[in-house]
Structure 1
């Protein structure tokens, strides 16, 4: 493709987004919230059509990633108290790059400025000094007032919304920036529901909150959004994914090696081949990529505008051994719509360390084993007066040290760190010994595989990829080619005219179709062509029209949205026929 062709495609796509946002507002998909008060950046309301589409996508995700995989689902609070986020690392490391204009004081994401105005595609992975250097080198300016930003400091900005829990000396809390922590902190109880058997998965669909520096592009980057996440807990030594289910799934991959190459490009392969060639490093990540690809296709994501991109080393979380994003093409740009990460034991270990609870699963041996264990039995008559309320913490430190490094107890004293201070304890007061123990099993800290889906971005992707314009009967038409199983409304029912008998017949059909479990809308406003256009524009797959012949022959006209083809179907058989079409058991052309 030439540069001119690429530019033309990008402009066409941007025009599609403008039209889509206008359609979304006009037809009740989504719009900026609190419009009566001027709105507020980063917050959107899903209207009747959008809420229905969003709910259908969530149900489709739940069916595939919870029900079909045999995983549990929970619903945790959106506000959690501070210790949770101290343990998870969000208080110290959940930041974006902020740059503030010295003239108008407008705040911007520094990495976004770099990506929008230079050749850098993933500036988020760059260290702050390098981002500052790029801004200076390219003489980037404030997007609001045009003032130069060269030499302006870029700072870390924590994205969490803070709040207080309770009155008076309230307990500090935060609105969760991801749903995952609600799963991790409940692991000690959730493992019991799983009968302490690995592997098992826990899903959650819910709201998350991030105080974005510069929310933009409608519902693509907001401050409140919905996530659908699966935390899958595995024994790293014994558990293997059922790769035979996904080996042959075709995927488009954009690995780190291709991103870093001068002439790099996405590659077409299969899950099995990508694992065999080492392109995907972790089998569990590969498995969930293989599960996700056909699911995205089933909900209407255009597979010619979809890929999996591997995180570069600079953008990958320090605890993630491998991480890939599902990306969709919008406006000529690729946006992240899901992430697939192998998180290791980082999360459970951190919560176990900070909470004092046991975030492990007991793994039973086939036969009891005799092993040597280093143990301590500290002299509390010494530790109590010496350390007071910290005595139990000292005991825990000694136990951890004995398990980790027996040689530390070979001298006369042993050193431990407590609250950033080093203490020396006489070895004779530690009760250190190496004993033979017969054990029935061991406590294993599970590793976590995390597929995390952005629901709002998926909604936008599905709408953008479904947007169509054509001409019918000499008139221009706009319609959304939504998959029937996710469309907000499955069928629209019309009386041809306002005749009482036709209205009664149409209303009776509505009742029958709703009783069959189909989503139905009734419309008797305007001429029939205008009603068709309204339903086309919101993506309703089928329309049913009761006409005067219906009163005679007991049949109605069923119109299919994409082709505008029409069929006559008996009213008596209509609920069963349309239910079969929606379930994929009957093609419209075969009616």
Structure 2
């Protein structure tokens, strides 16, 4: 077995994750998180909240996982969220065309049959809303649209001041054509996203100096044809124009800090810039945080992008909603402004109920768009042609207290499920101890599912009462404790090593004599003896990174 298979076998056996619907043969793209996997996932999510909600001050919202069709028409998902698909004419199997091209497969990879012509396949799950099945909805393919459509409410909450950020963690859905990479490519998964709204002309970050000296491994687009990644400080990368601006650089550094705190090794982490042929047409710059895995090589686990004002402008156009923010000047300015005056006496009778929308579209035009023999605008998906004679416009000079801007959006988008797998693989270690195989998950204590195990040396002689007392003390201090009296003490140590429990407290016969217990460290396997009334303080300190083990003589 390769490392992926060994990790997945352990994960299934120990209750981290397994394929959904196993009793019915399972279905590709769906995995359950078991008892330990769920705790691990929640710890990662809560650490993410510490970074973005607590430290950055981005309030969290929660929106529905089903969206109405209008939202995804405006976002571009209905028309453009597609992969090229080919179907086998013999067995009916469906495959992503780009994956077959990469592998140089000319026939069906399952049966060798002839493949049909490529066609677009939309990756959204489609549904209907209500009893009459007339209103179309979709399971959301990203959490971001919930935030964009609530922009008016959110900007009011933030007192109409830029910049501000909004966080959201939730399920998203993508109907992948042929998900054959286990937990790496899922049809339902969890995203953690922050949408940071900034002034389009001011992308200097107020705390950039705090990360300017952070060294990151960048894989710029220019280096991806035969070049290699480079280690460079964030400050230098922004100064040289490798990273577009300070806001993006700050969040790249923040992503690295989060991932290393979770337990992704720095030497297995890089940031790859999107090439010209893959970056979204509306994005200024986009980077993927990638981690090196044994089977899949480099996989994306976080995307960091400057989405510009595309989303807000698109929703503003489709919903006829104001997505601007008024930004006051430090001092009033004299400005020249274009004033457009549609002739409602003409537009009203000609366009009737559409007249107001036509006028609004005309008022949004630039001076260049107003010139010509005919003006063309789009209203509710309908092309409308306007005679320039129906419009008057002039330039006026006035004193302005500020300006209206449509914010640009900086977005770090985390794939939590991929991070969970990457952490399992990178923490997975096998070694030989005294002639026996030892499997260890070397989780950082802040994300370990079970924080401390409590063992009575034997299940008799009054040791159980003492052990249960220690367990109760630890639980009272909000620690997740596993009490285990099954099997030999050595077997219990190995069992908890394999699931990544950082510490084990053992109650033995000496405990009954002098009220002391041993604390064992998972990684070093060293043990110290401490008084029972010190256990809570020392365990909490060890989980926080204190080196109490080094302060005591080892047993």
Q: TM-score, normalising length from structure 2?
A: 0.95
Deviation at 1:294, TM superposition (A): 2.3
CA separation of 1:499/1:252 partners in 2, compared to 1, >3 Å: closer, same or farther? same
2:457 counterpart (496, 517, 520): 496
Deviations 1:474-524 (A, max 9, x none): 211111011111000011101111116111111111110011121110111
User: Is residue 274 of structure 1 aligned with residue 237 of structure 2?
Assistant: yes
Work out the CA distance in 1 between the residues paired with 2:448 and 2:341.
Answer: 65
Work out the CA distance in 1 between the residues paired with 2:114 and 2:229.
Answer: 36
Partner of 1:142: 108
Work out the CA distance in 2 between the residues paired with 1:68 and 1:15.
Answer: 39
Partner of 2:29: 42
1:97, 1:154 within 8 Å by CA — same for their partners in 2? yes
CA separation of 1:505/1:311 partners in 2, compared to 1, >3 Å: closer, same or farther? same
Partner of 2:263: 300
User: Is residue 246 of structure 1 aligned with residue 211 of structure 2?
Assistant: yes
CA separation of 1:466/1:406 partners in 2, compared to 1, >3 Å: closer, same or farther? closer
Deviation at 1:279, TM superposition (A): 2.2
Work out the CA distance in 2 between the residues paired with 1:587 and 1:288.
Answer: 34
Deviations 1:394-451 (A, max 9, x none): 11122122xx11683687x755454443423362x43544434433221111111111
Deviation at 1:139, TM superposition (A): 4.9
Work out the CA distance in 1 between the residues paired with 2:391 and 2:518.
Answer: 87
Deviation at 1:270, TM superposition (A): 1.7
Deviations 1:509-557 (A, max 9, x none): 1110011121110111111111111111111011111111111111111
Root-mean-square deviation (CA, aligned residues, Å) is 1.8
1:409, 1:432 within 8 Å by CA — same for their partners in 2? no
Work out the CA distance in 1 between the residues paired with 2:54 and 2:444.
Answer: 21
Partner of 1:423: 385
Work out the CA distance in 2 between the residues paired with 1:26 and 1:409.
Answer: 71
2:190, 2:416 within 8 Å by CA — same for their partners in 1? yes
Partner of 1:341: 305
Q: TM-score, normalising length from structure 1?
A: 0.89
1:81, 1:172 within 8 Å by CA — same for their partners in 2? yes
Structure 1 counterpart SS, 2:464:
helix
Structure 1 counterpart SS, 2:364:
helix
Deviation at 1:232, TM superposition (A): 0.8
Structure 1 counterpart SS, 2:224:
helix
Show structure 2 runs of 5+ residues with no match. Answer: none
2:274, 2:287 within 8 Å by CA — same for their partners in 1? yes
Partner of 2:88: 101
Show structure 1 runs of 5+ residues with no match. Answer: 1-13, 118-137
User: Is residue 534 of structure 1 aligned with residue 495 of structure 2?
Assistant: yes
1:139, 1:148 within 8 Å by CA — same for their partners in 2? no
Greater mean alpha carbon deviation, residues 363-372 or residues 461-470: 363-372
Work out the CA distance in 2 between the residues paired with 1:84 and 1:473.
Answer: 61
Work out the CA distance in 2 between the residues paired with 1:102 and 1:111.
Answer: 18
1:405 counterpart (359, 367, 388): 367
Deviations 1:299-326 (A, max 9, x none): 1112221111111111111111111101
Deviations 1:134-159 (A, max 9, x none): xxxx453322112354xx42222111
User: Is residue 258 of structure 1 aligned with residue 223 of structure 2?
Assistant: yes
User: Is residue 386 of structure 1 aligned with residue 368 of structure 2?
Assistant: no
Partner of 1:7: none
1:191 counterpart (140, 145, 155): 155
1:483 counterpart (444, 448, 463): 444
